[in-house]
Amino acid sequence: MAFYKKKKQKVNGLWYPMAVTVGKPVNTDEVADRLAQISTVSRADTYAVLKDLAGVLADYMAQGRTVKMDGLGTFYYTANTIKNGVADEKDVSAAQIAGVRVRFIPEARRSGSGRNMVRSLISDNIFWVELPADAKTTDPGQGGGGDSESPGEI
């Protein structure tokens, strides 16, 4: 089940459901254990592959490539630039890049009717439960991801 809290937007004063997470984030050990349970691969082998995955993705993206993982989605870099642009194309340089972000697009597939796109990481059977305002949720800064995409969306 997934959880939400009611949140009032400062911009328009309207209330919206906001997706929240609870508990501590699932860690690599837990993911490795679960993958080992549903496959023929040992926990140790699964853990080793998962631990090396981030470095492999970073290496490919540093080569200017996107990485598409079947059933998961696509990872790629974007550049954050300094605030002020330049007037002439010839003045554009890598020195304007202030930082790099990793972006992720979940894999999508068409639904049975072919009309709607379904993201691979969004379960077909999400059951939303409202949490009380005082319920403890995971701090998004700690890897929990407790904020919504935009007002009115979860």
Q: What is the tens place of the pLDDT at every residue in 70-120?
A: 889 999 999 999 878 888 999 998 889 999 999 999 888 776 666 666 676
Residue 116 burial (CB count, 10 A): 10
Strands 128-130 and 2-8: parallel
Q: Residue 8, by phi and psi: left (phi above 0), alpha (psi -120 to 50) or beta? A: beta
User: 154, 127, 147, 144: which is closest to 23 by C-alpha?
Assistant: 144
The residue count of the chain comes to: 154
- Residues ≥6 apart with Cβ < 8 Å to 21: 3, 137, 138, 144, 145, 146
Q: What is the tens place of the pLDDT at every residue in 17-49?
A: 998 888 898 999 999 999 999 999 999 999 999
pLDDT of residue 115: 67
CA distance linking residue 137 with residue 54, whole number of Å: 27
Band of residue 14 on the pLDDT scale cut at 50, 70, 90 = very high
Burial code of 50-68, b = ≥16 C-beta within 10 A, e = fewer?
eeeeeeebeeebeeeeebe
Q: Report residue 97 as tokens.
A: 């890049």
CA distance linking residue 9 with residue 22, whole number of Å: 22
- Residues ≥6 apart with Cβ < 8 Å to 47: 28, 29, 32
Strands 2-8 and 15-20: antiparallel
